[in-house]
Structure 1
Amino acid sequence: MSSVAKALSESDGKEFLKQSFSMQQTVLKSQLDLSAATITHNGVMGDVNEQHFIDIIRRYLPDRYAVDTGIVIDALGKTSDQIDVIIYDNQYTPTLLDQQGHRFIPAESVYAVLEVKPKINKGYLEYAGEKAKSVRELQRTSVGIPHAGGVYPPKPLFDIVAGIVATDIEWSDGFGGTFERNYAELTDLNKLDCGLAVSGGCFDAFSTEGGLNYGPTDNSLIYFLFRLLQKLQSLGTVSAIDWNAYAEQLIT
């Protein structure tokens, strides 16, 4: 006797995928709702919700991508603001000065940064944009990579992806005209590339043709993650760090 899931996958594979992924979104939404209903301290609730998002993002990204909260640092000792979710390389790049969950993540290793908020509105969009700027304005080094036949030239630096994830979106029309007007005000280093409202859809600016792409409401979580994964794949690997640039800062 085949299970209900097996029967559905055989009769309608697309519907099987939609229902299965939708349930994961329902689970995350329930976790976020539980935080809002039972945690009385805003700071603690924020930490708990950050971990919910970190856990689900880790689950869908390959092991080559590390996902943590932390502060980004460059070879000059400059640091970013505290960042809720950092997606970074931990295969070739160590984190620095780790203690009790606090870590500095070298700027060269960062692929993407996300801010976790209770909802998406004008204020939180601007806040996330400022967080993105604090990372993007840091210096990143890039050196050649030796190989058997010589040295590969330094890899050009890619633009660090930045976004916002939340439970809800404030505007009655969701990611409609009001959102787009406020989003358009985020430019240059403050620009956001993607966003997710678990109960209200998602957006991204990953298309090479320009403009914003919007995902479905019922499966916004997994759609957002798949689009983010595709974007990360397109970036390739991070640049090779010039560790001498870090070492030179230690010389009196």
Structure 2
Amino acid sequence: MATKKDRIADTAWMKESFVDVQTELAIKLKRAAQSISHAGTHGAVNEDHWIDIFRSYLPNRYAVATGLVIDSLGNRSDQIDIVIFDRHFTPTLLDQQNHRYIPVEAVYAVFESKPHFDKSYIEYAGDKAASVRKLHRTSVPISHAGGTFDAKPLFSIIAGIVAAKSSWADGLGEHFLKHLPPENMEKLDCGCALEDGAFDSFDETLKVVGSEGALIYFLFRLLARLQSLGTVPAIDWAAYASVINK
């Protein structure tokens, strides 16, 4: 019969493996910072590393890409570094190479990838989130064999920021907390700074954890939140078709 010590040993390998994943990502981001001098190229490489991590740990029902988010009124968001969106029900539109236009009804979450957390980058990420959240979303009833499901209520789109580290000496402490956007369109629900920790407010109170295992904590908390949202609303394709007639 397994003892408590045995059970602890049985789970230790899992924690160590997850910490290794975080270490590997931190090394990739550090290498990019050291070897790439062009800011735009450096940023794109960092985005790709984070996108790879999201794709590795989120189920296939969630697509992850960079792109613009659009609505049926012809509005567009700012360019978003990382968009998590529905893969099954909603296609992307007007794609060119890796540049995607994603209907806002398909979007679960948006993230900005930055070299570090600081006041300007947090405000920037909040502005990007607002550019998506203010878009018009449709939701229509869904027919099924037994009748019709009501139109799904719209959930709040998750927004966050990811980076290699925090620029503040106290990490995700007092200086970080006072610069988080308030409860509005710019709110950041979660984030991860690999060297300093992770945060989220998914349970309506802000939780902050330290650096050890922060990446996997952040991903698992995000996954739990995504699960709680269920599916995206059924898009009103007639509304998008009406753009053609205008």
Query: TM tier, shorter chain?
Result: over 0.9
Aligned partner of 1:195 in structure 2 is 191
Matched, 1:49 2:49: no
CA contact (8 A) 2:114 2:161 kept: yes
Aligned partner of 2:207 in structure 1 is 213
CA contact (8 A) 2:202 2:225 kept: yes
| CA RMSD after TM alignment | 1.3
AA matched with 2:195: S
List per-residue Cα deviations over 1:160-206 (Å, max 9, x = no partner).
Answer: 000000011011111111111111x4331000000100111000000
Match of 1:100 among 97, 101, 108: 97
Matches within 5 A, 1:60-139: 60-139=57-136
Identity across matched positions, percent: 54
Q: What secondary structure sits across from 1:129 in the alignment?
A: helix
d(CA) in 2 for partners of 1:226 and 1:107?
24
Q: What secondary structure sits across from 1:21 in the alignment?
A: helix
| Structure 1 residues 11 and 140, CA gap change in structure 2 (3 angstroms) | closer
Aligned partner of 1:3 in structure 2 is none
Structure 2: gaps (5+ residues): none
Report the CA distance between 1:100 and its aligned residue. Answer: 1.1
CA contact (8 A) 1:9 1:16 kept: no
Match of 1:227 among 221, 224, 229: 221
List per-residue Cα deviations over 1:83-125 (Å, max 9, x = no partner).
Answer: 0000000111000001111110000000000000000011111
d(CA) in 1 for partners of 2:182 and 2:82?
20
CA contact (8 A) 1:216 1:223 kept: no
Report the CA distance between 1:223 and its aligned residue. Answer: 0.7
| Structure 1 residues 187 and 10, CA gap change in structure 2 (3 angstroms) | closer
Superposition misfits of 4+ residues, deviation over 4 angstroms: 8-11
Q: What secondary structure sits across from 2:77 in the alignment?
A: strand
Matches within 5 A, 1:3-82: 12-82=9-79
AA matched with 1:70: G
d(CA) in 2 for partners of 1:159 and 1:19?
34
d(CA) in 2 for partners of 1:190 and 1:13?
42
Report the CA distance between 1:25 and its aligned residue. Answer: 0.5
> How many residues were matched structurally?
242
CA contact (8 A) 1:126 1:186 kept: no
Structure 1: gaps (5+ residues): 1-7
Match of 1:171 among 159, 165, 168: 168
d(CA) in 2 for partners of 1:9 and 1:47?
44
d(CA) in 2 for partners of 1:9 and 1:238?
43
CA contact (8 A) 1:111 1:238 kept: yes
| Structure 1 residues 134 and 9, CA gap change in structure 2 (3 angstroms) | farther
AA matched with 2:220: F
Aligned partner of 1:246 in structure 2 is 240
- Normalising by structure 2, what TM-score? 0.96
d(CA) in 2 for partners of 1:196 and 1:186?
18
